[in-house]
Amino acid sequence: MSHYSNPEVPHEVNVSEKTPLRDFARLSLGLCLLAAVVVAAVFFMARLFAPKIPFRYEAALNDTLPQGFAHRVAAPACRIAGEAALQHLAEELALAMALSEEMRLHVHFNDSADPNAFATLGGNIVVQRGLLQHVASENALAMVLAHEIAHIQHRDPIVSIGGGVAVAVLFSALIGNSDGGVLVGWAIGFTQMRFSRDQESAADDAALKALQARYGHTHGADEFFAYILASHPNISRIPTFLSTHPTPPARLETIRKSFSPTPQKLTPLPEALRQLQECGIKPDASLIGAS
Amino acid sequence: MGDLLSQFSTIIFVVILMGVAFIFGSIGQSRHYRSIKRREWQLRRILVFNEKMPPASFAGQEFALVSGSVVMGSDHFRQVLAGLKSIFGGRLGSFETMLDRGRRESILRMKEQAARMGATAIFNVRLETSVLSSREGRKQGLACAELIAYGTAWRGSDKPHAA
Amino acid sequence: MANSASRLMLSNIEYFPGYTVSKHLGLVQGSTVRAKHVGRDIMAGLKNIVGGELKGYTELLNDSRQEAIERMSAQAHAVGANAVINVRFSTANIAAGAAEILAYGTAVVLERRE
């Protein structure tokens, strides 16, 4: 029979922890990279597929957001008439631009001195008093409106928030909290109405085509852009639709290139809109306005 | 804004907690290993086997069931590290260390019990591991585990040499 | 009874050189379910931050195992055994903070060969 003994065994073979801190750094870096890749992929996939979302879902989504535009209870007559005139002009332009039947436009007037206009989800367009006061002709206003309508036609609002919303949804799914709505709201707040250079250029081109179709020429389209450029140092904020590249001078150049060589007569603003320019009402709390 | 601030302070707190856990966890670990090695040397005269049959030279000797157990937990830093690692897969070194410490400790405690009854060898040693922590029914990973060693200690008149 | 239970021989081995099993009396078992109390749980939770042995839990489970062995021994004594052989332990986490400790083996009458 053999002898019994317990020689020393090398216990170290069972333990592989050598550099916990370095492992930790390496793994957290890896995780961050992985997360960045996933977020970027989700972001760009969402932007890619956002235009495929039917417009009626976009409108429904807008209604659920706090930024959704509520119907006004009471407003002065000049404002009601003015908004109707804006709506009418937008619909005429939409006709000229062959906007799909499904895409209903809703033009809102915001009593803010900021010379600005913007398009958001669900075919909503906001025109601010500051803008209206600095256009002398219908052509100039039509250029701005057509530009915003083009954004809606190109589905730019949903594309620009789509990425942010998808990432927010991903995060709230991962974190597993019920505050997903808050995250989505943030994402929309951060990304809303930030359009890329290509989106702005495409909107400009479509707007010029619309002006050409409606008025037979594009003169006057540069009016508001030129005003903004000239008064730029005096205004606190650059209007949203001028804030991205290409630079305003480059865009102005593009617009002026489209002019026909002979001068054209500009269409004056309708009476209702001239009144709206001076329609003195209190700032409207129902509109969470200027970007 | 207050929301962000509170989230930020939570992150700071977690980082400090993990730092404290890492430092004290590492100190505790090396101290424990020193103690394990010292006691393993002191108790080396008690032989352990997991064979079922003791040698014939033990015939008629007194025997008793002996056991040793310990509940081991991993520190927060190493738990997070293991959590990270389980995303990418691979060896969970920090848990290996925790279980190795616990298992050797449980064997030592079994040997200490055997030493108190004057045994010279333990046969049919069994090692068991049971996971204890699962708070609120949620799977929280391996936060702590009980390690048990038990066997039959024999009081040999001599070392269990072949007759 | 506690006295006779303490005279019981326990082992996790089935074959004993120098002994003969004269009677096999069947399976005996002892089990206990214990929960840790809140104070202990909080202390263990704090200890778990820095890792290492959770002494409170170790003691609790040791006490439970001791009790399981005593209950098994009481069964063995009741059937007239003087030994329990092939003893096995098992631990199961049956609820959050509660564990069952089980000890079981075969009750026998073991006689020393002369």
ipTM, two decimals, is 0.83
B112 part of contact set with chain A, CB < 8 Å: no
SS3 annotation, chain B: CHHHHHHHHHHHHHHHHHHHHHHHHHHHHHHHHHHHHHHHHHCCCCEECCCCCCCHHHCCCCEEEEEEEEEEECCHHHHHHHHHHHHHCCCCHHHHHHHHHHHHHHHHHHHHHHHHCCCCEEEEEEEEEEECCCHHHCCCCCCEEEEEEEEEEECCCCCCCCC
Q: What is the pLDDT of residue C94?
A: 78
Write down the residue that tokens 């003791």 correspond to. B54
**Token pair for C68:** 């399981």
- Which residues does chain B have within 8 Å of residue A14's beta carbon, measured at their own beta carbons? 96, 100
Q: Which residue has the higher pLDDT, A16 or B46?
A: B46
Q: Are B100 and B32 in contact (CB under 8 A)?
A: no
Cβ contact B107:B149 at 8 Å: yes
Does the structure show a pLDDT above 50 at A260?
A: yes
CB B68 within 8 A of CB C39: no
Under 8 Å between Cβ of A146 and A206: yes
Task: Determine if the peptide bond prior to A246 is cis (ω within 30°).
Answer: yes
Q: Which amino acid is at C28?
A: V
CATH of domain C2-112: 3.30.110.70
Residue C101 parent element (H or E): strand C98-112
Per DSSP, the three-state class of A31 is helix
Does B85 sit within 8 Å of A23, measured CB to CB?
yes
Q: Which of C10, C15, C50, C57 to mutate to test the interface with B (most CBs of B within 10 A)?
A: C50
Average pLDDT, integer, range A105-131? 85
Q: Smallest Cβ distance to C49: which of B53, B61, B76? A: B76
Report the pLDDT averaged over residues C24-29: 94
C49 contact residues in B (CB cutoff 8 A): 17, 20-21, 24, 75-76
Q: Spell out, as residue ranges, where chain B has pLDDT lower than 70.
A: 1-3, 133-143, 157-163
pLDDT of residue A245: 47
Give the gap in angstroms from C-alpha C2 to the nearest C-alpha of chain B.
17
Between A6, A17, A31, which is nearest B94 by CB? A17
B97 contact C CB<8A: no
For range A224-244, the mean pLDDT:
61
Q: What is the pLDDT of residues B11-30, one digit of tens each?
A: 899 899 999 999 999 999 99
Query: Which tokens hold the place of C50?
Result: 């820095």
Domains, chain B, ordered by start: 2-154 (3.30.110.70)
Provide φ and ψ at A57, rounded to 5°.
-70, -35
Residue C24's H or E segment, with its range, is strand C19-35
User: Per the CB < 8 Å rule, is B65 touching C11?
Assistant: yes
Mark yes or no for CB contact A16/B96 under 8 Å: yes
Which residues of chain A have a Cβ shorter than 8 Å from any chain B Cβ? 1-6, 8, 11, 14-18, 20-21, 23-24, 27-28, 30-31, 34
Measured in Å, how far apart are chain B's first and last C-alpha atoms? 82
More confident residue, A33 or B163: A33
Note whether B81 contacts A11, CB cutoff 8 Å: no
Query: Which of A159-173, A212-226, B117-131 is the least confident region?
Result: A159-173
Q: Does residue C34 carry a pLDDT above 50?
A: yes
Provide the residue ranges of all domains of chain C, joining segments of one domain with +: 2-112
Q: How far apart are CA A33 and CA A171, in angstroms?
A: 16
